Amino acid sequence: MITNLKLLRRELNLHWAWQRDRSTIVEDSIKLVKSSQHRKEETLKRRHELRSAVASGGLPNTPGVKLNKIIQ
């Protein structure tokens, strides 16, 4: 009887640990997706600003240098 209780307790602890790990993975994944979306929005905003600056003459339109290289 005691060994059965010990085994049951171990199984419950393992199940709880698995649930915790799975929820942590989901939370970390959500944070990663939100961070990636934010970086994408900031990059697109910066690209738009650079293109506007080049179009208005604020940045020199250097021959042979593409806007993608300016962004990097």
3-state percent helix, strand, coil for the chain, nearest multiple of 5: 85, 0, 15
Among residues 57, 54, 37, 63, the alpha carbon closest in space to that of 71 is found at 54
Average pLDDT over residues 14-32: 76
User: pLDDT confidence of 57, banded at 50, 70, 90?
Assistant: confident
User: pLDDT confidence of 26, banded at 50, 70, 90?
Assistant: confident
Average pLDDT over residues 14-21: 64
Structure tokens at 61: 């339109």
Task: Let me know: does 62 contact 55? Beta carbons within 8 Å.
Answer: no
Does residue 30 sit within a domain?
A: yes
Does residue 72 sit within a domain?
A: no
Does residue 45 sit within a domain?
A: yes
Does residue 58 sit within a domain?
A: no
Give the domain extent around 22: 2-50
How many Å apart are CA 56 and CA 20, to the nearest integer? 54
Does residue 26 sit within a domain?
A: yes
Does residue 15 sit within a domain?
A: yes
Number of domain units in the chain: 1
Q: Report the share of the chain in percent with pLDDT over 70.
A: 58
Q: What sign results for the dihedral spanned by CA atoms 43, 49, 51, 53?
A: negative
Does residue 62 sit within a domain?
A: no
